[in-house]
Copies of this chain bind each other. A is one copy, B any other.
Amino acid sequence: MNTLFTNAKIMKTDHANHSFNIVEGSLAVEGNIIKHVGGVPADFKADKTIDCEGNLLMPGFKNAHTHTAMTFLRSFADDMPLQDWLFNQVFPREGQLVEDDIYWLDILGIMEYLTSGITSNFDMYFFPPKNAKASVDCGFRTVQTSGLNNFGGSVEIVEENYNIVNEMSDLTSFIIGFHAEYTTSKELMEGIAGLAQKYKSPCFMHNSETELEVKECIERWGKTPTELTDELGMYEYGGGGYHCVWMSDNDFEIFKKRGLYAVTNPGSNTKLASGIAPIKRYLDEGIKLAVGTDGPASNNCLDMFREMFLMTGLAKIKERDAACVPAEEVLYAATAGGAHCMGLPECDSIEEGKKADLIMIDLMQPNMQPENNTVKNIVYSGSKQNVALTMVDGKVLYERGKFDIGFDPKEIYTKANAIIGRMK
């Protein structure tokens, strides 16, 4: 299937400067690969031609941390103290999930990703092969990691899932990881470090999300979560942490030395009152950044436009500096930064030879006008309403409100309501 986009504005990524420039012209996709950018030879044979009418083609957003299938708990129990929410509302219901539930709940999340221009996710949840299967069936790209902790699973199962998901499809991959220091024994963490080394895999976990988590880790081990996991040998092949809100000076040094990614989740950090991540310092120190929505139970939506505004907005409040964390850095983290973090360098930008994970932004909407600065318009004013089309791996999965993922949306909504209905 070859697709020709005509009359487009096309966003190209300047990786050296974390900036973007926009050219006008056509773009051709051959199979799942971007074949021509800007000018397309007259003899290019397109199965489908899409007239962009002057709208913008740009790289898809990469959701670099989420728990997709938690859709069933969206708006189920909000405005509660964190511990009460987690222990009395979330955990008891997660315990009732069966594998088949995960499949349908994951598809609901994938649908929402597509409406937000997200073309791949870095997902941590129960039954990774089931989540990966849901992605493949929809045509969506996913990177799975393990949420191993003391309450379920084993290092052996993580290894098994690593191999199953990495071999399942070109759309799926698996990176070693576990839940967090505060939920996981040293023995399990050592096992995870061993796996990361055996498979030369990066390693990820929830890291320094709350002040309490860091305090208790220091009480237990005399070290921060970053120090402890580094000493356990987690990061020989890179990786990083989700959240990374409460970081010590030495944590910053370790992130720099190991080339780790700080995956920021500002929506969740806001709603759960966790705090504001030190984004300006990450940028100042050259630490690599990616952006995630976290799961739909804690956010409650899967919307990269919200995350981008919050990533810079919260930094501006924290630093009391309206000039810090410019829009270009945010957009770079939400696209190329995420792709690199997730081991998807072939999906990081619109370039000949890269995979066709791209979106069309409707500029002919009042919130994108006038066109003073398209990058700033997207980061500061963009919304799901502007996502006109989402293409993953060369296939249009979403276009102006319509899904092409092989499922009827109403069937998915019915399934999701039935699953949570069973638990009320």
- Chain A residues with CB under 8 Å of chain B are 71-76, 78-82, 85, 108-109, 111-112, 115, 267, 269-273, 275-276, 296, 299-303, 305-306, 309-310, 312-314, 316-317, 319-327, 364-367, 369-373, 376-377, 380-385, 387, 409-410, 412-413, 416-417, 419-421
Contact = CB atoms under 8 A, between A and B. Distances in A.
Contacts of A383: 301, 303, 305, 383-385
A300 B366 contact: no
A271 B417 contact: no
Nearest to A321: B273
A313 B108 CA distance: 25
Please tell me how many copies of the chain the complex holds: 2
Contacts of A310: 313
A366 B108 contact: yes
A364 B411 CA distance: 11
Nearest to A266: B313
Looking at chain A's contact residues, is the secondary structure mostly helix, strand, loop, or mixed? helix
Nearest to A380: B300
A108 B380 contact: no
Given A79-B376, A80-B323, A270-B313, 5 more contacts: A78-B380, A115-B366, A273-B316, A306-B306, A367-B384
A364 to B, nearest CB: 7
The 3 closest A-B pairs by CB, nearest first: A270-B313, A75-B376, A301-B381
A302 B367 contact: yes
Contacts of A78: 326-327, 373, 376, 380
B417 A322 contact: no
B372 A327 contact: no
Contacts of A370: 71-72, 74, 413, 416-417, 419-421
B380 A317 contact: no
Contacts of A76: 372-373
